C-alpha cells in the first residue's frame, strides 16, 4: 500500500520507539529530549536560538506575537497553502493578505509588490513542496518596504539555495513536524532566529504555556503504531480503512485540522509546549534527515524521467530542493487519482482547495475568491506523487506508470 499522507515517514525504528515511549508514560511530558531537539536545530542551522512548540501553527502564532506585529497590521502570504498559516496570523490579531503564486507554486513577486500597503509589516515565504522560493529577490522587495521576512519551512527542512540553508534567509523561520512533513512527530514545531530580542520573547511565551495534554500525546504516539498495521490492511476488503475510522471514533487517532480551524478560530489546546514524547520521535527522525531527503530526490528524478513524455506539467527543481511531494499539473486530476487508487496507491491533493482543507470558510480567513487566479488554477490542476523515504518505487510505481503511459 502506498499512501502519501498516512504517517509516511515512520520506519520500523520509529514505530518501536513510539511503542517504547507509549509504555513509559512518565517520559511523556518533561524531559531532556526537548532541549536536545532545540539544540539540534540551533547547531544544524548555525543560528543563535531555537524555540520549540507543539505544532507549526503554534510556532508561527508565537513568532508573530514575538515580532511585535500589532492588531490589524498586514502580513503578506501566498494563497495555495494550508489554513494553519492564515489562522496563526488571525489568532495573533494581524490580517493575512493573500498573494498569487508563480509557476512553481511559490509566492509571485510581481503580485507581492502590488499588494504591499502602508499597513504591511511582514512577509511569510512558503517553500512549497520543498522547492525554494527566490529569496534574494524577495529580500530586496522586503528591504525596500521595511518588511520582516519569515520563512515557512514546513516543506523544506534540509533544503538549500545557493549553498545556503533554507530557513536562514529571513529574520526568523518556523518548521512543522506534522504527520506528513519532512520529519514527523505527528505534531510539533520549531522557530529559529538570530535575534536575541525575538528569542527572549518566544521563550517567555513558551514558558507560560501548558504541555500538550496526555490525551493528545497518546494519539501522537499511537499514530505511527496504528498505521504500521492499518496500511498493510488498507486494501484488504477495506479492513484497514474500517480500523482507521473506528480508532478515530474512539479518539485513539485525531485529524490534522481541528473543527474550529475551518472557521478561523483557535482550538483551546493551541498553543502548547512541545512534549518530551514528541521531541523523542522528532529527534529520532532528524538523525535520518539527510538519508530521507536523498531518497526523496532519487524518487523525484525517477518521476521526471518516466513521466517526461506524458501530456502533464512536471515540477522544475534545483539541486538544493528536497521535493517533499512531487506535484504534477494535469487536466485529468480525478481520472488519474482514481486510476492509482484502484492500484492501491493513494496520491495527494495538496492543495486541491485554494486554502486547504476542503470546507474552510474562506470569508472567515479573509480570502476573496478570484483574488489569486494563478493559485486557484494550480489548485484545480495539482496532484501530488509520493516521495516518502520508505517507498519502493521499482516494485510499485514503475509498473503503474508503464500501464498509464
The CATH number assigned to the domain holding 100 equals: 3.40.640.10
Q: How many residues does the chain have?
A: 405
User: Does residue 252 fall inside a structural domain?
Assistant: no
Between CA 141 and CA 145 the distance in angstroms is 6
Between CA 306 and CA 111 the distance in angstroms is 34
CA triple 47-296-241, angle to 5 deg: 110
Residue entry with cell 519569515: 150
User: Does residue 238 fall inside a structural domain?
Assistant: no
User: Does residue 105 fall inside a structural domain?
Assistant: yes
Phi-psi region of 72 (alpha: psi -120 to 50; beta: other; left: phi over 0): left
pTM here is 0.95
The model's pLDDT over 83-123, given as tens digits with 9 standing for 90+, comes to 999 999 999 999 999 999 999 999 999 999 999 999 999 99
Which positions ≥6 away from 158 have C-beta within 8 Å? 165, 182, 289, 290, 292, 293, 322
DSSP collapsed to 3 states, the chain:
CEECCCCCCCCHHHHHHHHHHHCCHHHCCCCCHHHHHHHHHHHHHCCCEEEEECCHHHHHHHHHHHCCCCCCCEEEEECCEECHHHHHHHHCCCEEEEECECCCCCECHHHHHHHCCCCEEEEEEECHHHCCCCHHHHHHHHHHHCCEEEEECCCCCCCEECCEECCCCCCEEEEECCCCCCCCCCCCEEEEECCHHHHHHHHHHHHCCCECCHHHHHHHHHHHHHHHHHHHHCCCCCHHHHHHHHHHHHCCCCCCCCHHHHHCCCCCCCCCECCHHHHHHHHHHHCCHHHHHHHHHHHHHHHHHHHCCCCCECCCCCCCCCCCEEEEECCCHHHHHHHHHHCCEECECCCCCCEECCCCCHHHHCCCCCCCHHHHHHHHHEEEEECCCCCCCCCCHHHHHHHHC
The domain that holds 396 is classified in CATH as 3.90.1150.10
Which one of 207, 222, 255 terminates a domain? 207
β-partners of residue 107 are: 101
Which one of 163, 191, 207 terminates a domain? 207
Residues 197 and 332 in one domain: no
Would the pLDDT of 245 be above 80?
A: yes
User: Does residue 259 fall inside a structural domain?
Assistant: no
Residues 183 and 74 in one domain: yes
User: Does residue 270 fall inside a structural domain?
Assistant: no
Cis? peptide before 351, omega within 30° of 0: yes
Domain that holds residue 189: 27-207
Q: What is the mean pLDDT of the chain?
A: 93
Q: State the CB neighbour count (10 A cutoff) for residue 369.
A: 10
- The closest alpha carbon to 321, from 129, 127, 130, belongs to 130
Which one of 189, 207, 225 terminates a domain? 207
Q: Identify the pLDDT of residue 255.
A: 87
With bands split at pLDDT 50, 70 and 90, how would you rate the model's confidence at 1?
Answer: low
Counting the structural domains of the chain, the total is 2
The model's pLDDT over 29-74, given as tens digits with 9 standing for 90+, comes to 999 999 999 999 999 999 999 999 999 999 999 999 999 999 989 9
Between CA 349 and CA 92 the distance in angstroms is 28
User: Does residue 90 fall inside a structural domain?
Assistant: yes
Would the pLDDT of 2 be above 80?
A: no
The model's pLDDT over 170-215, given as tens digits with 9 standing for 90+, comes to 999 999 999 999 999 999 999 999 999 999 999 999 999 999 999 9
User: Does residue 268 fall inside a structural domain?
Assistant: no
Query: C-alpha distances in angstroms, 216 versus 29, 54, 72, 221, 277?
Result: 11, 10, 32, 9, 11
User: Does residue 181 fall inside a structural domain?
Assistant: yes
Amino acid at each position: 500500500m502506498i499512501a502519501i499522507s498516512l504517517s509516511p515517514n515512520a520506519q520500523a525504528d520509529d514505530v518501536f520507539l513510539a511503542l517504547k515511549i507509549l509504555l513509559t508514560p512518565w517520559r511523556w511530558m518533561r524531559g531532556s529530549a526537548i532541549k536536545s531537539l532545540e539544540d539540534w536545530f540551533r547547531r544544524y542551522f548555525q543560528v543563535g536560538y531555537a524555540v520549540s512548540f507543539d505544532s507549526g501553527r503554534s510556532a508561527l502564532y508565537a513568532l508573530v506575537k514575538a515580532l511585535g506585529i500589532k492588531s490589524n497590521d498586514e502580513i503578506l502570504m501566498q494563497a495555495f497553502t494550508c489554513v494553519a498559516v492564515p489562522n496563526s496570523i488571525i489568532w495573533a490579531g494581524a490580517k493575512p493578505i493573500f498573494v498569487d503564486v508563480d509557476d512553481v507554486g511559490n509566492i509571485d513577486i510581481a503580485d507581492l509588490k502590488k499588494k504591499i500597503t502602508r499597513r504591511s509589516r511582514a512577509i511569510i515565504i512558503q517553500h512549497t513542496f520543498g522547492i525554494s522560493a527566490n529569496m534574494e529577490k524577495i529580500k530586496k522587495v522586503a528591504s525596500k518596504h521595511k518588511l520582516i521576512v519569515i520563512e515557512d519551512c514546513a516543506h523544506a527542512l534540509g533544503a538549500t539555495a545557493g549553498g545556503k540553508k533554507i530557513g536562514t534567509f529571513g529574520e526568523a523561520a518556523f518548521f512543522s513536524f506534522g504527520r506528513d512533513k519532512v520529519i514527523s512527530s505527528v505534531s510539533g514545531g520549531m522557530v529559529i532566529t538570530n535575534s536575541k530580542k525575538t528569542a527572549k520573547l518566544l521563550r517567555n511565551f513558551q514558558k507560560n504555556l501548558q504541555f500538550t495534554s496526555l490525551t493528545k500525546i497518546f494519539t501522537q504516539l499511537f499514530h505511527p503504531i496504528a498505521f504500521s498495521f492499518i496500511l498493510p490492511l488498507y486494501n484488504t476488503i477495506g479492513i484497514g480503512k474500517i480500523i482507521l475510522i473506528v480508532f478515530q471514533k474512539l479518539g485513539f487517532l485525531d485529524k490534522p485540522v481541528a473543527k474550529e480551524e475551518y472557521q478561523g478560530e483557535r482550538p483551546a489546546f493551541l498553543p502548547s509546549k512541545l512534549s518530551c514524547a514528541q521531541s523523542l520521535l522528532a529527534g529520532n527522525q532528524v538523525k535520518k534527515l539527510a538519508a530521507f531527503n536523498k531518497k526523496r530526490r532519487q524518487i523525484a528524478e525517477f518521476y521526471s524521467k518516466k513521466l517526461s513524455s506524458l501530456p502533464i506539467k512536471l515540477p522544475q527543481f534545483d539541486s538544493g530542493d528536497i521535493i517533499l511531494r512531487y506535484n504534477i499539473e494535469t487536466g485529468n486530476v480525478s481520472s488519474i487519482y482514481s486510476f492509482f487508487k484502484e492500484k492501491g496507491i493513494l496520491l495527494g491533493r495538496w492543495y486541491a482547495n485554494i486554502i486547504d482543507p476542503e470546507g474552510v470558510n474562506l470569508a472567515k480567513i479573509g480570502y476573496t475568491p478570484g483574488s489569486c487566479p494563478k493559485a486557484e488554477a494550480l489548485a484545480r490542476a495539482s496532484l501530488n506523487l509520493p516521495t516518502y523515504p520508505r517507498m519502493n518505487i521499482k516494485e510499485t510505481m514503475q509498473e503503474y506508470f508503464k500501464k498509464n503511459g
